[in-house]
Every structure is written in C-alpha cells, then in structure tokens.
Chain A
Amino acid sequence: MSELIKDRLDNLTILVIEDNIGDFVLIEDYLLDQFHNIKVLHCYDYKSAITLLDSSQENISLILMDLNLPEMGGLALINSMLSHNFEIPIIILTGYTDLEMAKKSLQMGFYDYLVKDEINPVILHKTITFTLNRSSFINQLEHEKQNYEDLFNFNPQPTWLLDSKSLKILNANLSAQIKYGLSHHSFLKMQFTQLHPSSEELLVKNNLINREQELLRNNFTHILSDGKQIKVNIYFREINSEGNSRLIVQTNDISETLKHISTIEVQNAKLRNIAWTQSHVVRAPISRILGIINLLEEEKDNQDEFLFWMNQLKISTNEMDEIVKNIVSDSSSFEKE
C-alpha cells in the first residue's frame, strides 16, 4: 500500500448523503468502528450536499450516496453529480429495487455500489479501501497523462503525432503551429510529407514508414505557410497510443547553422589562402633580400656590383611591400563580413 493511500485511510473524511436517519446512523456506526481518525459528514439532501462540496471547506475523501434523495433520485441524480466533476469517488447506497440503476452507474463513472441490506462493517471497509486505492491510481494516471500532454504541447521543438501508416498528422504542438504558421486545425488536414517540397516527399515517406531512424542524409527542406523554406533535421520514434501505432516526429531548424557553416568555410578558404601566401609569396622576396645581403657581405670590395645588388634589394623590398598590403586588405575584408 502506498504512503499516499495509507495517509488517506488514516485521515479519512467521508460525506454520507442519506435522507433516512436510521440508515445514516447505522453506516456511521460501521465507519467509526472500522476506521481510526475518521470524520463523518452528513447531508440529508442533494442541495445541501452540493453546497457543502462547492464550499470546499472540507477535504472530502469519499462520498457515500443514497440513490433516492427527497428532491432527486436515480439517473437524474447520477447525471447531476457527474456534471459537477468533483473528482471525489462516489459509492452508491441502494436497495434491491434500484439494483439495475446502481449497476448502470458503474459504467457512468461511479466507483461502486452497496446494497443497504447487505452492508456490514467488513464489506464497508473493504469497499471503501478498494475505492480509495483505485481513485488514487486513476488520479495518478490522469496527472501523468496531463504531464505528457504538456510535454508535447509546450516542447520548444516543433513536434507532431502521426499515424504511422498514412503519415496523417493527428496532433501538432504549439511550437509547430507558431513556427510553420499553420493552425492546429490546418495541420490535422495534412499528411506530414506535405510539409516537404514534392521532390522530397517520397524519400521522407519511405524513411518514416520503414522507420529508418538513423537517416542517412538528415537534411530536409520544409515549407512554411508563408512560402519560406527552412532546412531541418528530422527525428522520430514509434509509440503506441490507445492501441494504435503512431510516430512522434520532431524537427530542428538548421538553416542558421548551415548558413554559419558556409560563412566559416568561406573564411577558412581565405585563411588558408593567406597562410599559403605567407609561406610562398611573402617569403620569396624576403629570402631573395637575405640572399643578396649574404652575397654583399662576401663581395664588399666590388663597387660595380654593389650598385647592381642595391637596386635588386630595392625591387625585392617594394615587391614585399605590395604583398603585405594585399594581405592586410584580404584580412580586413574578412572583418567586414
């Protein structure tokens, strides 16, 4: 038994809606006998019960309700109670005459029924414990379901739920609606492949239907409602929902990333070019200048040659000056980008 249920059994508040005082006293006796720390509330009719439930002053764990109250009974009473959606489990108290109606109430969302003539403390205890257990599990499931729906709806990535055979869109989250500029309603009329240009439709269809989860070339085009095209990665998983095979599909817009990569590639090419120039073009005149200087040191007495080599030095130095200027202008064109 989970801690939650144990706690609820230890701090039980039960509302009994019963117009027959004799029946009420009997049930109250059984309850006080079977549960510690129990608080029993009593309402004589439907109206006062609703008032009490609406006021939410009491943290009511469970309702025991007679199926025939002064102002209302049977199906009308069942429907009225359900319409309030109090999220408190209800157990019907009934006589043999209304047994069929009590059975029907189970299909409509009531938890259980007890035939008044058969009630004894043990049955009452068992019925209440089972009901609290079941309602606790059902509440947990409902919460989990809500959590998963929120995870889907508020996921920042555009996400869809598809029928795994037809690829019809069964659900599209908020992010998909905003990103693609299509309403939930418009998405439900589409197949997922219709988001792609016709040239990609077949490829995407095959990938999704054959469940090729590692897509060889995960770079697709999607068309938004305004006609703008974006590049996307597609990720998907097969899931089983309400007995049907479905696909959860997410897309990731990589248009910006691709643009950045191509900018970086252009810059890399320029950098490589600059590096090559440094190594080959800049060093050519430098090495020539150094070579001339080496030679001048060897031939310092030869005046005729000296003027010739000086002139060569000047030519090489000017050549280098041009090269350096070009590199500077190449590099600065970079920064502008």
Chain B
Amino acid sequence: MTKELYIIDDDNIYRMIASRMISRVAPGSPITECENGLIGLSKLEQNVNSDSEIIVLLDINMPILNGWGFLDQIADKKFFNNNAIKIYIVSSSTDESDLIKAQQYDFLGGFLHKPLKKEDIISIIEK
C-alpha cells in the first residue's frame, strides 16, 4: 500500500528538513506540507477516500489551530474508522506536561522529539 505523508508544522525550515529526509528514506511517497492544524485538517478531508495509508507528523505549538486542537477535531470526526491513519506528535518540547497530555489521545502513534532522525522516519514508514 502506498503511504502518504502529511507534515503539519509552522516552521518551514523544519518542514524542508523533514520532507527531504522522508524523500531519501521513501522516494516517491507523496508529501503534503501544512502550516498549521487547520490547513492540515482541510487537506486531510479532501483526501478522506484515499486508499493509501496516511501518516501525519504533527507539531504541538502552531498558530491558528495547534496540535492539541487538531487532535480534538480528529477525535470528533472519527477519522479512524478505517484505521488507515497514523498520527505522530513531533515536537521540540521536552515538557513533561506535554507528554502526559499526549497520553490522553489513545489513538496516537507516538511522541517523537525534534530533531527527527533518519531512524525515526524509517521506523514510522515501515511500521
């Protein structure tokens, strides 16, 4: 199954780094870059009938709709009925409270710390 990746993060340098690394690990996988949670949601909704497996790399602190707001909306919209979407938080935060908060979303794929390493991306994509 093809894998589509969504990078939701307001830091455009990070998005460039991440998409470059993904291209090296999984050449040819479509990558969509979104500046905040709201853009991420609308791009996902356009693509809701896709057959591909969807992987989301989600930042926490973003303007307009942050990572938590994005997760709340995803939970409301029940995107997970087909189980074909995996969401990973990727944050530079080492704040304990963020980790605890993340555990409340049982559908999360994991919590990764920036900077993303090549091994992180390999393990996400090959899961």
List 17 A-B pairs, Cβ < 8 Å.
A275-B95, A279-B93, A283-B93, A284-B11, A284-B92, A287-B14, A287-B113, A288-B17, A288-B114, A290-B114, A291-B17, A291-B18, A291-B114, A294-B117, A294-B118, A315-B13, A316-B13
Measured in the bound complex, the distance between the Cα atoms of B94 and A275 in whole Å is 10
Known: A280-B95, A287-B92. 13 other contacts (CB 8 A): A279-B98, A280-B61, A283-B94, A284-B11, A287-B115, A288-B14, A289-B115, A294-B17, A294-B117, A295-B17, A295-B20, A295-B21, A298-B24
Nearest residue in A to B117 (C-beta to C-beta)? A294
- A286 touching B21, Cβ below 8 Å: no
Interface contacts (Cβ under 8 Å), in number, total: 56
Kindly report which residue of chain A lies nearest to residue B59, judged by CB atoms: A284
A230 → B minimal CB distance (Å): 39
Contact B95 A292 (CB under 8 A): no
Which residues does chain A contribute within 8 Å of B11, judged by CB atoms?
A: 284, 288
A325 vs chain B, min Cβ distance (A): 19
Interface centre among A275, A288, A289, A299 (most CB of B within 10 A): A288
Q: Which residues of B contact A279 (CB under 8 A)?
A: 93-95, 98
Is the pair A294, B21 in contact by a Cβ cutoff of 8 Å? Answer: yes
Q: Please report the C-alpha to C-alpha distance between residue A275 and residue B97 in the assembled complex, in whole angstroms.
A: 12
> Does the CB pair A298–B92 fall under 8 Å?
no
Query: In the complex, which residues of chain A have a beta carbon less than 8 angstroms from the beta carbon of B21?
Result: 294-295, 298
Chain B interface residues toward A at CB < 8 A: 11, 13-14, 17-18, 20-21, 24, 61, 92-95, 98, 113-118
Do A291 and B93 form a contact, CB below 8 Å, given A298-B24, A298-B118?
Answer: no
Q: B24 to chain A: which residues have CB within 8 Å?
A: 298
* Nearest-neighbor residue (CB-CB) of A305 within chain B: B20
Instruction: Point out the residue from B13, B20, B93, B95 that lies within 8 Å of A288, measured CB to CB.
Output: B13
A48 within 8 A of B: no
Write the chain B residue with the least CB distance to A276: B95
CA distance A291 to B14 in the complex (A): 8
Interface flags for A252-268 (1: CB within 8 Å of B; 0: not) read 00000000000000000
Cα A283 to Cα B114 with chains together (Å): 8
Question: For A147, what are the chain B residues with a Cβ–Cβ distance below 8 Å?
Answer: none
Instruction: Kindly state whether residue A312 has any CB partner on chain B within 8 Å.
Output: yes
Q: Assess the B118–A288 pair: CB atoms within 8 A.
A: no
Q: Which residues of B contact A290 (CB under 8 A)?
A: 114-115
Chain A 270-307 interface residues, beta-carbon cutoff 8 Å to B? 275-276, 279-280, 283-284, 286-292, 294-295, 298-299
Q: Is the pair A294, B93 in contact by a Cβ cutoff of 8 Å?
A: no
Q: How far is the CB of B17 from chain A (nearest CB, A)?
A: 4
CA distance A294 to B92 in the complex (A): 16
- Chain A's closest residue to B116 (CB) is A291
